[in-house]
Amino acid sequence: LRRNPGEEEFHQAAREVLETLGPLLAKRPEFLEAKVIERICEPERQLIFRVPWTDDSGQVHVNRGFRVEFNSALGPFKGGLRFHPSVNLGIVKFLGFEQIFKNALTGMSIGGGKGGSDFDPKGRSANEVMRFCQSFMTELYRHLGEHTDVPAGDIGVGGREIGYLFGQYRRITNRYEAGVLTGKGLGWGGSQVRTEATGYGSVLFIAEMLRVRGEDMDGHRVAVSGSGNVARHAIDKAHQLGATVITCSDSSGYVVDEKGIDLELLHQVKEVERGRVGDYVERRGGAARLVEQGSVWQVPCDVALPAATQNELTESDAVTLVRNGVTAVAEGANMPTTPEAVRVLREAGVAFGPGKAANAGGVATSALEMRQNASRESWSFERAEEQLAQIMRHIHTLCHDTAQRYDRPGDYVAGANIAGFEAVAEAVLAQGVI
Ligand code: NDP
């Protein structure tokens, strides 16, 4: 970690994984002898590049682009692109590092990578976003390929941005290489359920955690943070399973809606109009209230699903959640729960699903999209959703059983880290010192 000064989020993610590997390394000393940990912690390649673009008034801007190609022992680098002003190398590395193990847990042939830019899409016109995406891809395209590196979306990168990025890739390369990006539109190589997959999958993961405790989602009060892609589809699936989601948020505050979030209205405000959660409250007609200060985790709930960003659920939030009787927490976002908060939840006996397991449904469905692109097929919604459900059950069982096998019953963090690391380490070892 001394090699990577200032990369706090990467340190946090690496420490969280390494701290749980003791029982595995005691059984598999060859991983230590062959320096597998050092090799997995060092990205295969890190790209940082200039992204110049022109706004609607003709002014020139310069942003920074990143792609960290972390590990390709299991398959082509795979992981999303994030456009947010907070993006820096440490954040991209933490996301890429998590992605290695998440992708391994899916059991599919995908390595780990992540990328993005400190570009802020908020308040930008569609034309500005398009010009930015074209400039970004003009550098990144040379590093991509369906067998090399396959990006997808993340914060600030949804279907619209993937469209602009794909268009520029196709134009530069003069090739219709559908499998080079995932999250594409349904009419041009996208997969059914990819948009819904991360949110749906994280709720399916919670349902599995509750099932082994003899419970289900029906009738539960659920608190969700965020109001983007993951949050909205988590709300949708939770409602389908009979729960009531009473919160959502964005960086301007959080909403409490005791009747249950009106998903159609939220979609209209956040996705179609690209507005703020305050607009939702205004149009909800008295059923909901907006809280501009404080934490969404103050709202009493049975199940909590952080789905906005890293380190948004702190130790004091965890104490409040436990005091209010929460029984399960699953990370829809990547690393939204601080290590201190995870400890509080675990010590209180709360079922805790870490992001690399609970939110793996998105990347798994991206791999299904690549599979459809390779075979030139398009599956029905039902077929893709059934595959997603199977994958989430598989990931849950793998994490649950691995934790048990290594004497950490109920510890999904240890189960996910050990199972994910072991799969990658086996491949790294088998492929020689490279
Ligand atoms: P979106 O851009 O669609 O939504 C992000 C949401 O989080 C918005 O409501 C946004 O509010 C809020 N948010 C983002 N950054 C901050 C911040 N610094 N402070 C407060 N609120 C913030 O992104 P996604 O829904 O795609 O991603 C959400 C999380 O899920 C991320 O951690 C991502 O890495 C993770 N994830 C996403 C996957 C996917 O398939 N999309 C797959 C696996 C994980 P505002 O609009 O105000 O910025």
395 Cα to the center of ligand 1, angstroms? 23
**Predicted pLDDT of residue 408:** 97
Q: What residue's CA is closest to ligand 1, atom 48? A: 251
Mean predicted lDDT score pLDDT of the chain: 97
Q: For 358-368, what is the mean pLDDT? A: 98
149 Cα to the center of ligand 1, angstroms? 22
30 Cα to the center of ligand 1, angstroms? 39
Whether 51 and 96 map to the same domain: the answer is yes
**Predicted pLDDT of residue 183:** 98
Q: What residue's CA is closest to ligand 1, atom 37? A: 154
Q: For 279-283, what is the mean pLDDT? A: 97
Q: Which atom of ligand 1 is nearest to the CA of 102?
A: 43
- Domain assignment present for residue 9? The answer is no
Q: For 16-40, what is the mean pLDDT? A: 97
Which pLDDT band holds residue 207 (cuts at 50, 70, 90)? very high
Whether 116 and 200 map to the same domain: the answer is no
**Predicted pLDDT of residue 241:** 98
- Domain assignment present for residue 224? The answer is yes
Whether 113 and 78 map to the same domain: the answer is yes
Given the residues 78, 102, 114, 270, the one annotated as active site:
114
Query: Ligand 1: residues whose CB is within 6 Å?
Result: 84, 86, 153-156, 158, 198, 226-231, 250-252, 307-309, 332-334, 359, 362
Give me the helices (H) in 241-352, please: 263-267, 277-283, 315-323, 339-347
- Distance in angstroms (rounded) separating the CA atoms of residues 412 and 429: 25
Which pLDDT band holds residue 127 (cuts at 50, 70, 90)? very high
Per the listing, tokens 């059984």 go with 27
Strands (E), 319-434: 328-330, 351-353
Q: What residue's CA is closest to ligand 1, atom 2? A: 155
Q: For 372-390, what is the mean pLDDT? A: 98
Whether 200 and 333 map to the same domain: the answer is yes
- Domain assignment present for residue 142? The answer is yes
Whether 125 and 69 map to the same domain: the answer is yes
ipTM comes to 0.98
Q: Catalytic site residue 114?
A: yes
CATH assignment of the domain containing 311 = 3.40.50.720
CA nearest 127: which of 62, 187, 51, 54?
Answer: 54
Q: For a pocket test of ligand 1, which of 124, 229, 261 has the largest count of ligand atoms closer than 8 A to its C-beta? A: 229
Whether 336 and 251 map to the same domain: the answer is yes
| Percent of the chain whose pLDDT exceeds 70 | 100
Whether 204 and 155 map to the same domain: the answer is no
**Predicted pLDDT of residue 180:** 98
Q: Which of 349, 383, 416 is the C-terminal boundary of a domain?
A: 349
- Distance in angstroms (rounded) separating the CA atoms of residues 218 and 223: 14
- Distance in angstroms (rounded) separating the CA atoms of residues 209 and 413: 13
Q: For a pocket test of ligand 1, which of 154, 247, 305 has the largest count of ligand atoms closer than 8 A to its C-beta? A: 154
Whether 269 and 319 map to the same domain: the answer is yes
Q: Which atom of ligand 1 is nearest to the CA of 197?
A: 40
Task: Read off the pLDDT of residues 306-334 as tens digits, 9 standing for 90 and up.
Answer: 999 999 999 999 999 999 999 999 999 99
- Domain assignment present for residue 121? The answer is yes
Element (H, E) at 254: strand 253-257
Domain count, the chain: 2
190 Cα to the center of ligand 1, angstroms? 21
Whether 228 and 339 map to the same domain: the answer is yes
CA angle 331, 68, 40 (to 5 degrees): 75
Q: For a pocket test of ligand 1, which of 114, 150, 251 has the largest count of ligand atoms closer than 8 A to its C-beta? A: 251
Task: Read off the pLDDT of residues 422-434 as tens digits, 9 standing for 90 and up.
Answer: 999 999 999 999 8
Q: What residue's CA is closest to ligand 1, atom 15? A: 309
Which pLDDT band holds residue 256 (cuts at 50, 70, 90)? very high
Tell whether pTM > 0.90.
yes
**Predicted pLDDT of residue 82:** 98
- Domain assignment present for residue 10? The answer is no
CATH assignment of the domain containing 142 = 3.40.50.10860
What tokens appear for 35 in the block?
């320096």
154 Cα to the center of ligand 1, angstroms? 7
Structural domain boundaries, residue 305 = 196-349
- Domain assignment present for residue 260? The answer is yes
Q: Which of 331, 349, 367 is the C-terminal boundary of a domain?
A: 349
- Distance in angstroms (rounded) separating the CA atoms of residues 365 and 184: 12
Whether 231 and 344 map to the same domain: the answer is yes
The b/e string for 128-138 (b: 16+ C-beta within 10 A; e otherwise) is bbbbbbbbbbb
Whether 206 and 171 map to the same domain: the answer is no
Q: What share of the chain is helix, strand, coil (3-state, %, to 5)?
A: 50, 15, 35
Q: Which of 317, 349, 381 is the C-terminal boundary of a domain?
A: 349
Cα–Cα distances (Å) from 194 to 66, 180, 197, 201, 384, in that order, read 24, 15, 5, 10, 9
Whether 165 and 117 map to the same domain: the answer is yes
- Domain assignment present for residue 291? The answer is yes
- Domain assignment present for residue 376? The answer is no
Task: Read off the pLDDT of residues 97-126 as tens digits, 9 standing for 90 and up.
Answer: 999 999 999 999 999 999 999 999 999 999
